[in-house]
A = this chain, B = another copy of it.
Amino acid sequence: MPVYHAELLVYLRPDLLDPQGRAVKHALNTLGFHEVEDVRMGKAIRIRLQAENDSQARDRLKEMAEKLLTNPVIEDYRILSLEQEP
């Protein structure tokens, strides 16, 4: 079965406060990076999986995101890339 490499990004929904991002923004400003106006912290997830084809891989990643990788109430995610292993 083909092997795929996927990358997912997960962030808090834009309307929610991100205390970790705010702390990083503050730390950057304090270190002299005064030009930084906003920071949002999220998760990057690389997954290697087997799938029959691109479409099946995408469906399964969606299921994983909804069941385990994200909290759909407070987080959004996107599949950044999905590539079949050569």
Interface residues of A (CB under 8 A from B): 1, 3, 9-11, 21, 24, 27-28, 31, 33, 35-51, 60, 63-64, 67-69, 80
Contact = CB atoms under 8 A, between A and B. Distances in A.
A42 to B, nearest CB: 4
Per DSSP, chain A at the interface is strand
How many copies altogether? Answer: 2
A33 B45 CA distance: 15
A41 B38 contact: no
Contacts of A41: 43-46
Contacts of A21: 46
B45 A40 contact: yes
Contacts of A38: 46-48
